[in-house]
C-alpha cells in the first residue's frame, strides 16, 4: 500500500533533516560544497533513491505513485526548497523524457520505461541542439532509414544526465521536407551502445547555476538503431513534443517555485536576525515590503502553476495555452523576486559561504530553471495565434471552468496523456471564468473597495485586449510584430489573475487564502505597469504577520503551507 | 565646429596600448580574465601592467602631482577597463576609493605623501564594513585607543569584506575613538602596513564571492596596529563627516563601471542575435528581438547620460553632490543590472553556460556587475540618504532655484570644467539639485518642444510635477522611513536621468552629427524609456524607435565604447 501524499512529504522532510546543521550530509553546507566542485550531489541522490523519488512521476497504473501532478510537485518542492539543482539534477531529465513515453509510447514501451525508472534507471531527453535552441522544428540530428535500421548522424548538446542515463529519448529529423511530420522520437538504449564508435559522448557543459547538474552532449556518426525503436508513430515527433511539453512546462516552473521559497526563507532569516540600532532590519518598512512582495509573488506563481497542473487533469484539451503562459510568466516572476530579495541582503548576498551562502545559490540555480526548456519569448509567440482563435470562439461565448479546477484539496481524475492536444482550438476555460463570472467575482469582492478596484482593472484590461486582438490582421507573413508579444504578456497575466481569483473563491473564507489581502496584493503585482502608491506600506503591514508567523513556525510560503 | 571632448581620444589611445582583448596572447584579454575568474586568481600581472602604463596617476588630483583634474577623464578610464574586465577594474580602481578621504579632508602633507604612495603603484583599501553590521557604520566595533607615543593610536578589531584587504599597503580605516553613540565617536585613520608594526595588521582569508571571483575580497585584522598623529584624516571624531563627503565623489566615480559592464553585455547580445539563425532567419531580424536590443541600448544611453552629468557635476556643481551622488549611485547600477538581465533573456542557454559564446563571458559580467550596486553604499543606502533631503528638494524645485551656469558647464561638453575643488563638498545640498530643477525650463525650451513629441513631454512634465508635490509635502514622522520613500527616490532618480538626457542633447546637438543624433534618435528613445519607467502606459508607436535603434549593431569585434558620443568625435578636433 502506497503512503499518502502527506505521509510521503513528511517522510522526505524528516529524511532531509535540518539544512542548517553543519554535519547533515544533505544540508546546506554539503549542497554548497558540491555546487562549488560542480559534482553531482551523491548524498542527496542516495537519499532520493531510498525514498523512491522517481516513482513520483511514474503513473500509478504503471506501478508508480503519480496520481496527481500537484502532489508530485509538492514532493519535488520539498527537495527543491533545499536545493533546486538536486531536484532537477537527480531526475528532471527522467521526468521530461518519460513524460514523452507516457504520452506517445506503446503499452510495451511504457511498461519497459516504467520498470527502468522504478528500478532506479535514468532517462535523458535529447531535444536540444545549441545551434537551434528553442527552434526544435529545425533540429538537425537526423535518422535515415536503411533497411530495418535507422542511421543516426548529428549531435545533441546541453542534455542533462546524458552521461549517466540508461536510455535516451532522442528527437531526430526523419523526413523531408521540414514540416509538422519531419521529426520523430527515438529510443536509444545507451547501455547497449557502450563501446560503439559510431556514438560519442561530448565533454560536459559547465554552467554558472545548477552547477551540480551534469549537462552533457552526444554525437552520432552513422550509428545504427533498430527501426522499431521509434517512440509512438514515425513522424510524430513534433506532435508528441507539443503534447508532452504541456505537462513539463507546467510542472517544472511549479517545482521551481521552491527556489523562491528557499530564498525567501534565507532572506527572512537574515532580516529577522541582523541587528540595526536596537532592532533588526526586518523592522524597516522597506525591508518588510521587499519580503512581502516576494511572498506575494510566490503565492501568485503557485496559484498559477497549481491551477495549471490541475487543468492538465481536468481540461487536457486546453492546456497548450495555460502551459505556455506559465512557462513564460512564472520563471520571470520567480527570478524577479529573488533578484529583488538579493538587494535586501546587500553584501551578504555576494558571499558564497557562511550562514547565508545558500542565497546566491538559489539565485544562480533559478536562472537556468527559467530559460531551460523553452525561452520566454518563444512561449509568448506560441500564444499569439491561439489568442486570435480565442477572440472568435472562447472569448466571445465564454464558458467558465469546472469549479474543481480551483478547489485545491479536491481530488482529480487521472491524467489522460492521450487527450493532450496540439491546440486549444479557441477554448480557454481559465480566462473564460474571468469573463463569464465577472459579476459573481465582483460580488464576492463587494466588501473590499480596493479589491474591487483591482479586479475591475483586470477586467477592463481583458476587454481592451479582446478588442486589440480582434483588430489584428488575420493572416500574416513574416515574423510577428513586437507588439504582439506585449499582448501575449498581458494575456498571461490575466490567466494568472484568474487562477488567483479562482483559488481565493475556491477556498474557505476564513482561511488566509480566502482573505482579500493577499488577492489584492497579488492582482496589483500582476498589472503590467505596476506602480506602487501610498498604499504600499499599508499593504505590507496587512501581510507581514502571515509571512512572519510562517517563518517562525517553519511552514512553507506557498499555498499548501506545508511544514518546511 | 566640433567639440573638444578629450576623454574619447584618450580612451582610444589606452585601448590601443592594452591590445586586442579577444587575443589570448594579450595580457589583458577576455580569455585570460575568464581563466582567472575560474580559478579565483587575482589579476596580479594585469594590475602591474596598468601600474606601468601609469593608470594610478588618474587617481591622484593634479594638485598633488597626478592627472586627476576632472572626472570625465577618470570615468572614461574606469569605463574602458571595466568593459574588458570588472574584476580588474574594481581591484585597481579601489585605490581611488581608499585615497579619496585624504583628497577631501586630509592635510597637504598627508595628501602629498599618499600621492607618492599611489603613484608608486601601492594599492590603497578602504576599511569600513565589519562582519554582521552590514551598512550600519555607526555600529563600528574596531577601536582606536591612545598609544604609547603622544598623539599616537593603537587599533584593535577586524574589518570584513574589504576589497584588497590582503594586498593594500595602506588601509583607510574607520574606527571608534569614543565609546559614545553617534557619528562623532568615529574617526578615519590611515593605517600603513609598512608602519603598523609586525603582526599589528594582517589580512584575513579571501572570501569566496558570487562575482569578481578573482578579486581580493577579504578582511583586515588589527591587533595593536599603531598610527601616528599624521595618520588621522580630517581630525578625531570627523570620520563620518569626512566619509560622507568623500563618498560623494567615489559613488559617482564608480558608476562608469556599470557602463563598461553594459557595453560588454550589450555587445554580446548584438553579436549573438546578428549571427544566430533561428526560425529560418537571423534572430536580429525578428522585430521583438530588435526591440529588446534597442531598449537595452536606450537604457545604456540613459545610464551614460546620468553618469556623464554626475561626473561633470563633481567639478561644476560640487555643492550639490550630496544629492547627485546618491541619485547616480542608486540609479545607474540598478538600470544596468536590469539591462544585463534583459540581454540574458535573448541569449537563452548561453546566458548561463560557462564555456559557450565568447567563452561564457556573459554569465561572468552578470555576476561581476552585481557588486556595483552593493559596494560603496548600496542602492537602498543611497535612496535612504536622498530621502533625508526630500522636503528641501521639493521646496527648491518650487522656488525654481538653479545654478544656471553650473548646469550649463556640466552639460556643455565644449566648455572646460572649472578646477577640482573637493574641499567645497558639503554633506547636504542647500540649493537642492540644479539638474532636476532645470527640468521646467528644459521641458518648455523651444528647441526641445520642436524636437520631442508633445505627448512625451507632457508625460514627463506631469511626472515631475506630481513627484515634487509629494516631496514638498514630505513630512518625516520619526522612526524608520516608510517604503513609499524608496519609490519616490526612484522617481527622483528618473527625473534626474531625464534632465541629464535633455541637457546633454540640448547643449551639444548642434555639434554632433552622427546617426544617433539625427532627429534626436537617442534622446527620443531614452525619454520614451524613462517615461515608461515613470509609469506611463507603453506607447506602441515607440516600438519603431527602439526597433530602429536595435538595428544599429556596434562595429563587430573590438570597436569603440558604446556611447551617445561617437568615437570619431575626438578626430573632429
User: Can you spell out the DSSP letters for A280-339?
Assistant: EGGGSHHHHHHHHHHHHHHHHHHHHHHHHHHHHHH-GGGHHHHHHHHHHHHHHHHHHHHH
Same structural domain, B217 and B288: no
Pair B168, B307 in one domain: no
The reply to whether A563 falls in a domain is no
| End residue of a domain, out of B209, B236, B263 | B236
ipTM computed for the complex: 0.95
What's the number of domains chain B is made of?
A: 2
SS3 content of chain A, % helix, strand, coil (to 5): 55, 10, 30
Q: Distance between CA A345 and CA B208 in Å, rounded? A: 16
Cell of A209: 547555476
B1 DSSP 8-state letter:
-
Q: Are residues A424 and A487 in the same domain?
A: yes
The distance of B281 to chain A (nearest Cα, Å) reads 9
Q: Domain end: A71, A93, A121, which one? A: A121
Among B202, B236, B270, give the residue marking a domain's end: B236
CB–CB contact B136 A276 (8 Å): yes
Task: Judge contact between A137 and A127, C-beta under 8 A.
Answer: no
**At which of A121, A152, A182 does a domain end?**
A121
Percent residues over pLDDT 70 in chain A: 98
Helices B239-254 + B86-105 axis angle, to 10: 140
B8-36 per-position pLDDT tens digit: 556 677 888 899 999 999 999 999 999 99
- Chain A CB contacts of B532 under 8 Å are 529
Residues A472 and A490 in one domain: yes
**With contact defined as beta carbons under 8 Å apart, do A300 and A523 qualify?**
no
Give the angle A199-A204-A205 at the CA atoms, nearest 5°.
125
Q: Is residue A208 domain-shared with residue A274, that is, in the same domain?
A: no
**Is the minimum CB–CB distance between B228 and chain A shorter than 8 Å?**
no
Give pLDDT, residue A343: 93
At B460 the pLDDT is 96
- A45 — phi, psi (to 5°)? -70, -40
Indicate the average pLDDT of chain A: 94
Q: Tell me what the mean pLDDT of segment A445-471 comes to.
A: 95
Contacts of B352 in chain A (CB under 8 A): 207-210, 364, 367-368, 371
pLDDT confidence bin for B571, thresholds 50/70/90:
very low
CB atoms within 10 A of CB A545: 10
- Answer yes or no: is B569 within a domain: no
Please indicate whether, in this complex, the C-beta atoms of A351 and B210 are within 8 angstroms of each other. yes
**How far does A216 lie from chain B, in Å, by closest CA?**
12
User: DSSP for B5-50?
Assistant: -HHHHHHHHHHHHH--TT-TTSTT-HHHHHHHHHHT---HHHHHHH
Q: Is A3 exposed, middle or buried (0-12, 13-18, 19+ CB in 10 A)?
A: exposed
Residue A414 touches chain B, beta carbons under 8 Å: no
Q: Does A275 touch chain B (CB under 8 A)?
A: yes
Q: How far apart are CA B423 and CA B426, in angstroms?
A: 8
Q: Which residues form the domain of B291?
A: 246-558
Question: Which residues in A lie closer than 8 A to residue B290 (C-beta atoms)?
Answer: 482
Residue B539 to residue B532: CA distance in whole angstroms = 8
Phi-psi region of B147 (alpha: psi -120 to 50; beta: other; left: phi over 0): beta
The predicted-structure confidence for B462-508, as pLDDT tens digits, reads as follows 999 999 999 999 987 777 899 999 999 999 999 999 999 999 999 99
Domain boundary among B180, B205, B236: B236
Between CA B98 and CA A157 the distance in angstroms is 47
For residue B572, what pLDDT is reported?
A: 31
pLDDT at B555: 78
Q: Considering CB atoms only, which of A275, A346, A529 is closest to B537?
A: A529
Choice among A279-293, B146-160, B356-370, B474-488 with the minimum mean pLDDT: B474-488
Dist CA B331 CA B383 (whole Å): 9
By CA distance, what is B357's nearest residue in A?
A: A130
Q: Do A158 and B538 touch (CB under 8 A)?
A: no
Q: Is residue B365 part of a domain?
A: yes
Residues B167 and B22 in one domain: yes
- Shortest Cα distance, chain A CAs vs residue B269, angstroms: 15
Residues A81 and A206 in one domain: no
- Look at B352 and A350 and tell me if their CB atoms are within 8 Å: no
Q: Which letter does DSSP use for residue B215 in this model?
A: S
- A482/A505 same-domain check: yes
What CATH number is given to the structural domain containing A149?
2.40.110.10
Domain boundary among A121, A154, A177: A121
Chain A environment of B342 (Cβ under 8 Å): none
B258 and B230, same structural domain?
A: no
Distance CA A308, CA A312 (A): 7
B134 in reach of chain A (CB within 8 A):
yes
Please indicate, yes or no, whether residues A221 and A288 belong to a single structural domain of this protein.
no
Q: Do A343 and B380 touch (CB under 8 A)?
A: yes
Q: Is A533 helix (H, G, I), strand (E, B) or coil?
A: coil
- The DSSP result for A430-472, as a single string, is HHHHHHHTHHHHHHHTTT-HHHHHHHHHHHHHHHHHHHHHHTS
Residues A363 and A264 in one domain: yes
Whether the CA torsion A544, A549, A555, A560 is positive or negative: it is negative
Query: What pLDDT does residue A373 have?
Result: 58
User: Which secondary structure element, helix H or strand E, spans residue B87, and what is its range?
Assistant: helix B86-105
Together in a domain, A151 and A115: no
* CATH number, domain containing residue A441: 1.20.140.10
Q: Is the peptide bond before A177 cis (omega within 30 degrees of 0)?
A: yes
| CATH classification of the domain holding B22 | 2.40.110.10
B483 with B391, same domain: the answer is: yes
Chain B hits for A529, CB-CB cut-off 8 Å, are: 532, 535-538
3-state secondary structure of A230: strand
**CA–CA dist A427, A423 (Å, integer):** 9
Give pLDDT, residue B352: 92
Residue B568 located in a structural domain: no
Start-to-end Cα distance in chain B? 9
Is residue A272, in this structure, part of any structural domain at all? yes
User: What mean pLDDT comes out for the span B285-306?
Assistant: 96
User: In terms of domains, do A97 and A131 share one?
Assistant: no
Q: Are B125 and B171 in contact (CB under 8 A)?
A: yes
My answer on whether B349 and B281 are in the same domain is yes
The DSSP 8-state label assigned to residue A494 in this structure reads H
Q: What is the mean pLDDT of residues A396-409?
A: 94
> Residue A1 pLDDT more than 70?
no
Nearest Cβ partner of A481 from B287, B363, B371?
A: B287
Q: In whole angstroms, give the CA distance from residue B201 to residue B223.
A: 6
In this structure, are B226 and B253 located in the same domain? no
Q: B184: burial class by Cβ within 10 Å (0-12, 13-18, 19+)?
A: middle
Is A320 among the domain residues? yes
- A-proximal residues of B, 455-514, CB under 8 Å: 480-487
Q: Across the interface, do B485 and A286 touch by the CB < 8 Å criterion?
A: yes
Residue B316: CATH number of its domain: 1.20.140.10
Q: Is A334 exposed, middle or buried (0-12, 13-18, 19+ CB in 10 A)?
A: buried
**Residue B323 parent element (H or E):** helix B321-347
pLDDT at B5 over 60: no
For testing the chain A interface, which of B288, B296, B373, B470 should be mutated: the one with the most A CBs within 10 Å? B288
- Chain A segment 16-45 residues within 8 A of B by beta carbon are 36
Pick the residue with more confidence: B169 or A473?
B169
pLDDT tens, A240-286? 999 999 999 999 999 999 999 999 999 999 999 998 888 899 999 99
**Residue A204 is part of which domain span?**
125-237
- Nearest partner of A530 among A274, A312, A293, judged by Cα: A293
Q: Report how far residue B12's alpha carbon sits from residue B347's, in angstroms, rounded to the nearest whole number.
A: 29
* Shared domain check, B117 and B171: yes
Domain count across chain A: 3
Residue A175 lies in a domain: yes
Mean pLDDT, range B368-388, rounded to an integer: 93
Test B354 with A206 for CB contact under 8 angstroms. Answer: yes
The Cα A563–Cα B12 span in angstroms is 60
Amino acid at each position: 500500500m502506497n503512503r499518502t501524499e502527506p505521509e510521503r512529504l513528511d517522510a522526505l522532510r524528516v529524511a532531509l533533516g535540518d539544512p542548517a546543521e553543519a554535519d547533515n550530509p544533505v544540508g546546506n553546507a554539503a549542497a554548497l560544497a558540491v555546487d562549488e566542485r560542480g559534482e553531482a550531489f551523491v548524498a542527496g541522490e542516495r537519499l532520493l533513491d531510498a525514498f523512491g523519488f522517481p516513482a513520483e512521476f511514474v503513473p500509478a497504473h504503471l506501478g508508480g505513485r503519480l496520481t496527481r501532478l500537484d502532489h508530485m510537485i509538492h514532493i519535488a518542492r520539498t527537495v527543491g526548497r533545499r536545493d533546486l539543482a538536486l531536484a532537477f539534477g537527480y531526475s528532471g531529465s527522467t521526468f521530461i523524457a518519460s513524460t514523452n513515453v507516457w504520452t506517445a509510447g506503446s503499452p510495451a514501451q511504457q511498461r519497459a520505461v516504467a520498470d527502468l525508472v522504478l528500478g532506479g534507471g535514468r532517462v535523458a531527453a535529447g531535444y536540444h541542439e545549441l545551434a537551434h535552441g528553442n527552434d526544435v522544428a529545425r533540429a538537425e540530428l537526423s535518422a535515415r532509414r536503411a533497411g530495418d535500421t535507422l542511421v543516426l548522424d548529428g549531435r545533441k548538446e546541453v542534455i542533462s544526465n546524458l552521461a549517466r542515463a540508461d536510455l535516451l529519448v532522442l528527437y531526430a529529423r526523419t523526413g523531408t521536407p521540414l514540416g509538422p511530420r519531419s521529426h520523430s522520437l527515438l529510443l536509444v538504449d545507451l547501455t547497449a551502445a557502450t563501446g560503439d564508435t559510431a556514438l560519442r559522448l561530448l565533454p560536459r557543459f559547465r554552467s554558472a547555476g545548477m552547477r551540480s547538474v551534469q549537462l552533457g552532449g552526444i554525437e552520432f556518426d552513422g550509428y545504427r538503431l533498430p527501426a522499431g525503436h521509434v517512440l509512438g508513430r514515425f513522424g510524430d515527433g513534433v506532435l508528441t513534443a507539443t503534447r508532452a511539453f504541456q505537462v513539463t512546462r507546467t510542472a517544472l516552473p511549479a517545482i521551481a517555485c521552491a527556489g523562491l521559497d528557499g530564498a525567501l526563507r534565507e532572506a527572512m532569516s537574515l532580516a529577522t536576525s541582523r541587528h540595526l540600532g536596537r532592532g533588526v532590519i526586518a523592522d524597516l518598512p522597506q525591508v518588510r515590503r521587499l519580503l512581502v512582495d516576494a511572498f506575494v509573488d510566490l503565492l501568485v506563481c503557485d496559484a498559477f502553476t497549481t491551477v495549471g497542473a490541475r487543468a492538465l487533469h481536468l481540461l487536457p484539451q486546453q492546456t497548450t495555452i495555460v502551459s505556455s503562459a506559465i512557462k513564460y510568466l512564472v520563471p520571470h516572476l520567480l527570478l524577479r523576486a529573488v533578484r529583488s530579495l538579493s538587494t535586501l541582503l546587500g553584501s551578504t548576498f555576494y558571499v558564497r559561504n557562511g550562514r547565508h551562502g545558500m542565497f546566491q545559490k538559489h539565485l544562480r540555480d533559478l536562472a537556468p530553471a527559467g530559460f531551460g526548456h523553452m525561452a520566454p519569448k518563444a512561449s509568448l509567440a506560441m500564444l499569439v495565434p491561439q489568442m486570435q482563435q480565442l477572440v472568435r470562439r472562447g472569448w466571445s461565448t465564454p464558458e467558465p471552468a469546472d469549479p474543481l479546477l480551483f478547489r485545491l484539496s479536491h481530488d482529480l481524475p487521472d491524467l489522460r496523456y492521450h487527450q493532450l492536444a496540439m491546440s486549444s482550438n479557441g477554448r480557454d476555460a481559465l480566462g473564460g471564468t474571468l469573463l463569464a463570472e465577472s459579476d459573481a467575482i465582483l460580488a464576492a469582492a463587494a466588501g473590499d473597495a480596493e479589491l474591487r478596484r483591482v479586479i475591475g482593472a483586470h477586467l477592463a484590461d481583458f476587454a481592451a485586449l479582446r478588442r486589440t486582438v480582434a483588430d489584428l490582421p488575420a493572416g500574416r507573413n513574416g515574423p510577428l510584430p513586437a507588439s504582439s508579444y506585449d499582448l501575449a504578456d498581458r494575456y498571461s497575466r490575466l490567466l494568472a489573475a484568474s487562477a488567483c481569483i479562482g483559488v481565493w473563491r475556491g477556498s474557505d473564507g476564513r482561511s488566509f487564502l480566502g482573505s482579500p489581502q493577499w488577492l489584492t496584493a497579488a492582482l496589483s503585482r500582476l498589472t503590467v505597469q505596476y506602480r506602487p502608491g501610498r498604499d504600499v506600506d499599508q499593504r505590507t503591514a496587512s501581510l507581514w504577520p502571515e509571512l512572519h508567523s510562517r517563518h517562525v513556525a517553519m511552514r512553507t510560503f506557498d499555498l499548501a503551507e506545508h511544514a518546511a | 565646429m566640433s567639440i573638444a571632448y578629450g576623454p574619447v581620444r584618450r580612451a582610444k589611445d589606452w585601448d590601443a596600448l592594452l591590445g586586442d582583448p579577444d587575443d589570448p596572447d594579450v595580457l589583458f584579454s577576455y580569455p585570460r580574465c575568464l581563466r582567472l575568474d575560474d580559478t579565483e586568481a587575482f589579476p596580479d600581472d594585469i594590475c602591474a601592467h596598468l601600474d606601468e602604463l601609469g593608470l594610478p596617476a588618474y587617481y591622484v588630483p593634479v594638485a598633488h602631482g597626478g592627472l586627476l583634474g576632472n572626472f570625465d577623464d577618470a570615468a572614461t578610464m574606469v569605463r574602458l577597463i571595466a568593459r574588458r574586465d570588472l574584476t580588474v577594474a574594481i581591484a585597481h580602481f579601489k585605490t581611488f576609493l581608499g585615497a579619496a578621504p585624504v583628497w577631501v579632508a586630509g592635510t597637504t602633507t598627508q595628501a602629498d605623501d599618499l600621492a607618492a604612495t599611489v603613484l608608486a603603484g601601492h594599492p590603497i583599501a578602504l576599511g569600513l564594513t565589519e562582519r554582521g553590521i552590514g551598512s550600519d557604520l555607526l555600529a563600528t566595533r574596531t577601536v582606536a585607543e591612545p598609544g604609547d607615543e603622544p598623539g599616537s593610536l593603537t587599533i584593535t578589531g577586524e574589518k570584513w569584506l574589504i576589497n584588497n584587504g590582503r594586498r593594500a599597503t595602506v588601509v583607510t580605516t574607520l574606527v571608534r575613538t569614543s565609546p559614545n553613540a553617534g557619528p562623532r565617536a568615529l574617526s578615519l585613520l590611515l593605517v600603513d602596513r609598512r608602519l603598523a608594526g609586525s603582526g599589528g595588521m594582517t589580512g584575513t582569508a579571501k572570501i569566496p564571492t558570487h562575482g569578481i571571483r578573482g578579486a581580493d575580497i577579504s578582511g583586515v585584522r588589527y591587533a595593536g596596529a599603531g598610527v601616528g598623529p599624521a595618520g588621522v584624516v580630517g581630525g578625531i571624531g570627523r570620520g563620518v563627516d569626512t566619509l560622507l563627503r568623500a563618498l560623494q565623489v567615489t559613488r559617482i566615480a564608480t558608476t562608469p563601471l556599470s557602463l563598461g559592464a553594459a557595453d560588454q553585455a550589450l555587445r554580446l547580445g548584438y553579436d549573438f542575435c546578428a549571427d544566430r539563425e533561428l526560425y529560418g532567419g537571423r534572430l536580429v531580424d525578428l522585430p521583438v528581438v530588435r526591440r529588446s536590443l534597442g531598449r537595452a541600448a536606450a537604457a545604456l544611453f540613459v545610464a551614460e547620460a546620468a553618469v556623464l552629468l554626475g561626473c561633470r557635476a563633481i567639478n561644476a556643481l560640487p555643492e550639490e553632490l550630496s544629492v547627485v551622488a546618491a541619485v547616480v549611485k542608486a540609479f545607474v547600477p540598478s538600470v544596468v543590472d536590469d539591462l544585463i538581465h534583459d540581454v540574458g533573456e535573448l541569449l537563452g542557454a548561453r546566458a548561463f553556460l560557462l564555456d559557450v559564446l565568447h567563452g561564457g563571458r556573459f554569465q561572468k559580467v552578470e555576476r561581476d556587475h552585481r557588486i556595483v550596486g552593493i559596494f560603496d553604499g548600496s542602492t537602498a543606502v543611497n535612496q535612504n540618504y536622498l530621502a533625508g533631503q526630500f522636503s528641501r528638494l521639493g521646496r527648491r524645485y518650487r522656488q525654481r532655484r538653479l545654478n544656471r551656469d553650473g548646469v550649463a558647464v556640466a552639460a556643455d561638453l565644449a566648455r572646460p570644467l572649472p578646477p577640482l575643488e573637493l574641499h567645497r563638498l558639503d554633506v547636504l545640498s542647500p540649493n537642492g539639485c540644479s539638474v532636476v530643477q532645470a527640468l521646467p525650463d528644459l521641458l518648455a525650451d523651444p528647441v526641445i518642444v520642436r524636437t520631442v513629441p508633445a505627448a512625451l513631454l507632457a508625460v514627463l512634465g506631469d511626472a515631475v510635477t506630481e513627484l515634487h508635490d509629494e516631496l514638498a509635502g514630505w513630512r518625516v514622522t520619526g522612526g524608520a522611513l516608510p517604503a513609499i520613500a524608496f519609490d519616490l527616490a526612484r522617481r527622483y532618480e528618473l527625473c534626474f536621468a531625464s534632465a541629464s538626457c535633455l541637457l546633454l542633447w540640448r547643449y551639444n546637438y548642434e555639434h554632433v552629427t552622427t546617426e544617433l543624433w539625427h532627429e534626436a534618435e537617442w534622446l527620443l528613445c531614452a525619454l520614451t524609456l524613462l517615461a515608461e519607467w515613470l509609469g506611463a502606459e507603453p506607447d506602441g508607436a515607440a516600438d519603431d524607435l527602439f526597433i530602429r535603434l536595435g538595428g544599429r549593431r556596434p562595429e563587430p569585434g573590438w570597436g569603440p565604447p558604446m556611447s551617445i558620443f561617437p568615437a570619431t568625435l575626438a578626430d573632429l578636433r
